[in-house]
Homo-oligomer: A and B are copies of this chain.
């Protein structure tokens, strides 16, 4: 099969063919099914994808810890997957989730709690929707 036929299949076909990167990962975007807000961007390896599909709860692969991880296993802040979609070239996954509490390890609902602002060429951030739902120091005790 030529590369272009293969690419065409992956884009227009109905077979599930995740395109993992050199590290064996796809990018996953989780949005809040209630608000449409992006909660987090993370990664899944083949096992995380399979477990997410099989269980209906989000599993990820942590690049920093080099480990499979069930969302909420430490914090209790789980994600129930309502829908999963693949993108055109199948290297990214979008899950719409029911988020229990906070998606972010900082204790916020979403990891995207700062807005980019630009004034006279200076770029800075400002907090938005940044209240904490839990205290990470209490939740992630060593």
Contact = CB atoms under 8 A, between A and B. Distances in A.
A115 B93 CA distance: 10
Interface in A96-140: 104-106, 108, 111-116, 118, 123-128
B83 A115 contact: yes
A87 interface: yes
Contacts of A53: 116, 118, 123
Interface string A58-96: 000000000000000000000000011111100011100
Contact of A31 (B11, B14, B36): B36
Nearest to A40: B87
Interface string A26-56: 0101010001111011000000000001100
What band does the interface of chain A fall in when counting residues whose beta carbon is under 8 Å from B? 35 or more
A31 B41 contact: no
13 contacts: A15-B125, A16-B123, A29-B38, A31-B36, A31-B38, A35-B36, A38-B38, A38-B94, A41-B92, A53-B118, A54-B118, A88-B104, A88-B105
Given A12-B106, A41-B94, A86-B112, 14 more contacts: A14-B124, A15-B125, A16-B124, A31-B31, A31-B38, A35-B36, A84-B115, A85-B112, A85-B113, A85-B115, A86-B114, A86-B116, A92-B111, A94-B112
